[in-house]
Amino acid sequence: MDRFNLPDGSLHYRLEGDAGKPVLLLSNSLGTDMTMWEPQIEALLGHFRVLRYDTRGHGGSLVTPGPYTMDQLGGDALMLIEGLGIERVHVAGVSLGGMTALWLAANAPAKVGRILPSFTSAHIGMPEIWNQRIATAESQGMQPLLDGVLARWFTPQFHAAAPATLARFRAMLGGQNPAGYAAACAAVRDMDLRARLKDISAPSLVVIGQHDLATPPAMGHAIAAGIADAKTAELPCAHIGNVEARDAYTSLLLDFLAA
């Protein structure tokens, strides 16, 4: 693992694979870290140089005072790409990471090849819900949030079938810095990329979870409707679909990026 210095701290990142292959940037969801992508890494390294990082406020990356904004989080990713001397990246992101993929495609089109915004939205709103979650994290820490978030992340069937994976993600979510998590929640609360979708020219595949309660299917279809020639794919999973529908998601990703 490596550190990339930003003006106010450093991002925790990992760049692996053959330097001659195209670069794929993977951006993590709210409340996780770069290890959420482990189900895909082995397959991806056969085709790409893979760049992963922990979003500001998450994992081993910097935690700065909030609230964060999408411009700030997207700008972090852009500085990482440019700072590593990478000319162009494909981008796949889940949840908050999908919002980052949209931001990069709209704001740095010369740096972006294809994008897979996954299990995400261009606008969520519902500030009262986010404000309550922020207040809980700031006053009580992560523990009171775990059951509710995990219930949205995975279907009941997956909860029953994959207890070891659920335990890993419970530990990952519970281990986040509450201040960083709350600050990133504010970025999601205030994020509205709907007017920027028309500016995205990158070939786009919007991946949708049929049972996603956090960013329901209508939100994914709204993204695709706003991006010229965007495609959609639906998977039988909830919010962290790269894990719950790991093989199907990996196949979608590889097929779309090879097209």
Q: Which domains does the chain have, with CATH numbers?
A: 2-258 (3.40.50.1820)
Structure tokens at 242: 């790269």
Average pLDDT on 53-59 reads: 98
pTM: 0.97
Structure tokens at 227: 């991006």
- Cα R_g (the chain), whole angstroms: 17
Q: Kindly tell me if the per-residue pLDDT of 202 is higher than 80.
A: yes
The Cβ-side half-sphere exposure at 133, using a 13 Å CA radius, reads 22
List, in sequence order, every residue forming a beta bridge with 53; answer none if it has no partner. 13, 27
Instruction: Give per-residue pLDDT as tens, 12-46.
Output: 999 999 999 999 999 999 999 999 999 999 999 99
Average pLDDT, the chain: 97
Q: How confident is the model at residue 207 (pLDDT cuts 50, 70, 90)?
A: very high
First to last CA, the chain: 31
Bridge-based pairing state of the strands 23-27 and 49-53:
parallel
| Strand locations in the chain (E) | 2-6, 9-16, 23-27, 49-53, 89-94, 112-118, 205-209, 231-235
Q: Kindly tell me if the per-residue pLDDT of 1 is higher than 90.
A: no
Written as one letter, the residue type at 60 is G
Cα-based angle 77, 80, 81 (whole degrees, multiple of 5): 90
Q: Kindly tell me if the per-residue pLDDT of 68 is higher than 90.
A: yes
Q: How confident is the model at residue 259 (pLDDT cuts 50, 70, 90)?
A: confident
Among 151, 169, 170, 121, which Cα is nearest to 211's? 151
Q: Kindly tell me if the per-residue pLDDT of 237 is higher than 90.
A: yes
